[in-house]
Structure formats: structure tokens, C-alpha cells
Amino acid sequence: HEMRERYTYATEAWANNRKRFKEDIEFLAGEQWPEDIRTERDEKGQPCLVVDKLNQYVRQVVNDSRQNRPSIKVRPVDSGADIETADILQGLCRHIEDRSDASAAYDTAVDSAVRGGFGFIRILTEYAHEKTFEQEICIERIRNPLSVVIDPDFRKADASDIKYAFIID
């Protein structure tokens, strides 16, 4: 019951953003004329010209992100921390990113965010082998950001304080 209430609440709260995401994607794909005007022009035999002026800017932002990929950085920050431990943790994070092909996840999320306004990655654990309970952390890309519905009551800019999320597959 709680899950259904949360899903309904989150879906309703994000409905306008999701609608605009779809409109932005369609606009970038060349659907720039309203349906009624396009139909009217088709009936009169008039063309609906579309001049792509946006995709060059989308590519510029996405390619800048690919050249300066985000990655996890571990820094010792308090009196109990030391550089050696931070280096070990940094190596573990780099291993997780390499093993997960995190660069593809980052690229997909940035591309979705630039094109439609939001993008997601997923951090989860998976079993290392079929016959063990050992788990490994992995970073996974979410190809369709419209398949994700998150808690709309977050406060932090990166939404790291969300309490729940749904991924519809």
C-alpha cells in the first residue's frame, strides 16, 4: 500500500517534467511543428522546413563531458584519515568504475540530461559468482530515464537524499 501511494505521488509530481522531456527529445529529433499546423500545410502541399540548430550545441556539451569524464575521487579530510587509506579506497573505486564500464553510464546520463533535462545512473551490488554470496559493487547505466521515478521531495542538487525510487522495466 505504501509503495503504491509513493509511486502515485512521485508519478504525479514528475508528470510535467516527464512530458517536457518527451517534447524536448521530439523537438531535437525534428518534430518541431505543431500537429495541427503540419496537417494543414500537408493538405495545402506546403513543406514544413526544419533547420537543426540545436544538435551542434548538444554534441558540444556531451563531448566536453566525455573529454572531462566525471569520476569518483577519494580524499582524506579529517584528523583520523590518512593519504595511504585514501589511495587504497581510490584504487577500489577505480576498479569498480572500470569493471562496470562506468564511463558508458556517465555518458548516457549526461546525454539524457542535456537532451531532455535529466539522466540517471544506478549503483547496485551483484553476486560475484553463481555459487557464492559474495557481492561486488557495480555502476549501471539507465538507457531510458523515463523508466525512473524518484522521490520528488529531495533537497540536495544531486538528489542523493532521496528516500525511494522506482525503475520500471
- Specify the pLDDT at position 77: 84
Residue linked to cell 563531448: 63
User: What cell numbers appear for 96 in the block?
Assistant: 569498480
Confidence of residue 97 (pLDDT cuts 50, 70, 90): very high
- Specify the pLDDT at position 166: 95
CB 109 within 8 A of CB 115: no
> Is residue 116 helix, strand or coil?
helix
**With 80 as the cut, is the pLDDT of residue 79 above it?**
no
- Specify the pLDDT at position 129: 85
What's the mean pLDDT in 89-114? 93
What's the mean pLDDT in 28-55? 90
Q: Is 0.85 surpassed by the pTM of this model?
A: no
C-alpha distance from residue 36 to each of 42, 69, 74, 120 (Å): 10, 43, 54, 34
